[in-house]
Amino acid sequence: MSNGIGVGLIGTGYMGKCHALAWHSVKAVFGTGPRPRFVHLAEASEELAARRAEEFGFERSTPDWRELIADPDVEVVSITTPNAFHADMAVAALEAGKHVWCEKPMAVGFADAERMAAAARASGNVAILGYNYIQNPMIRQIGELIAAGTIGEVNHIRLEMDEDFMADPEALFYWKSEASSGYGALDDFAVHPLSLVQTLFGDPTRVFAHQAKPYAERPIAGGGRRAVETYDIASVLFEIGPISGILAANRSAWGRKGRIALQIYGSAGSIVYDQERMNELQAYRASGPTADQGFLTVLAAPGHKPYDRFIPAPGHGLGFNDLKTIECHELLRAISGEKARVIDFAAGLEIERAVHAMARSHDEKRWIDV
């Protein structure tokens, strides 16, 4: 890797651009590791592929992702296409000896996710998922506070993930309302807080879920209306051993834009966090005179690694895209054999397992052991 690492990028939408930006920043931010070489980019059409390659600085472009995977100069593949394509692409890339950085969720069906995990295991390559929220220095700090016993034994957690991009009842029916896209809020949203839960506490052991449709039908483009097949709202009770929890997800929640709210209660304190103010955490310590107790609002600072690699001054703020740069750096560390903070395909499979158990619980109206 003396002259860098060859990168292939499949997909250039929201997450594709996010990966491209991370690959551009990672070396200058962290100073160490290989320099990415922007080798090959794949997009649906030849024209779009060429345009994005010019914008993102890739040497070659193709409308055929298999061509990209066959490119011997490509060492690591960013997969940022719609979820339905993840499995085929990831398995092909792994079988071709590439490392894989795949966006979440793994796949629509559990069997596909299992196939991906098996391919990763068989390949011996690095295969990770794009659960970037775990990379936030404030989430790391929360993990360190918990590990240090700052809030004692955790006994109760509440998680909420809410946005409003499907909140308008008159928004047209589109693929996210089709059953083929998955369950709805459960796989579209719940996987994110579950990635945080896994990182901080481990996976749910028992779940009870209920899903709801705020709007039974939606208008369709040509006129008329179509019944909505997915659930924009999911409400879940769960346990992780002795910890009781609630997970709520709603993609029709007017006013919420990127909310991932955590409440973590322990025997000696509590921690509160909201991704919409991603550079802050709040911690309550039950010590000292009660008249001096309260929630402490901590702003992201160089002491919260690796914030310092981006900015040497506290309180100036990281952005959403910076989380992807940290994730990219962790990927590179994993590739170089270091212990990295990533959710690999094996860990990602456990998140999928929990989500599918929740959906089954909804259908069977009972607690399900995961």
Dihedral of CA atoms 9, 13, 14, 16 in degrees, nearest 10, equals 0
Q: Does 118 bind its own copies (CB under 8 A)?
A: no
Residue from 2, 3, 180, 290 in contact with its own copies (CB under 8 A): 290
Using the contact rule CB under 8 A, the part of the chain among 83-91, 102-110, 264-272, 326-334 near its own copies is 264-272
Q: Which helix (H) or strand (E) holds 170?
A: none
What's the closest the beta carbon of residue 111 comes to its own copies, in angstroms? 29
Nearer to its own copies, 202 or 258 (CB): 258
Beta strand spans in 153-267 (E): 154-162, 206-212, 217-219, 225-227, 233-240, 243-250, 259-266
Nearer to its own copies, 65 or 231 (CB): 231
Q: Does 276 bind its own copies (CB under 8 A)?
A: yes
Q: Does 25 bind its own copies (CB under 8 A)?
A: yes
The total of other beta-carbon atoms located within 10 Å of residue 283's CB is 19
What's the closest the beta carbon of residue 342 comes to its own copies, in angstroms? 21
Residue from 248, 328, 331, 335 in contact with its own copies (CB under 8 A): 248
CA atoms within 13 A of residue 187's CA, in its CB half-sphere: 29
Q: Does 278 bind its own copies (CB under 8 A)?
A: yes
Q: How far apart are CA 158 and CA 367, in angstroms?
A: 18
Segment 203 to 242, residues that bind its own copies, using CB under 8 A: 208, 210, 212, 214-215, 233, 235, 237
CA atoms within 13 A of residue 248's CA, in its CB half-sphere: 12
Q: How far apart are CA 367 and CA 370, in angstroms?
A: 9
Q: How far apart are CA 162 and CA 258, in angstroms?
A: 7
Using the contact rule CB under 8 A, the part of the chain among 78-86, 122-130, 196-204, 252-260 near its own copies is 252-260
Residue from 1, 294, 338, 369 in contact with its own copies (CB under 8 A): 294
Residue from 47, 319, 346, 363 in contact with its own copies (CB under 8 A): 319
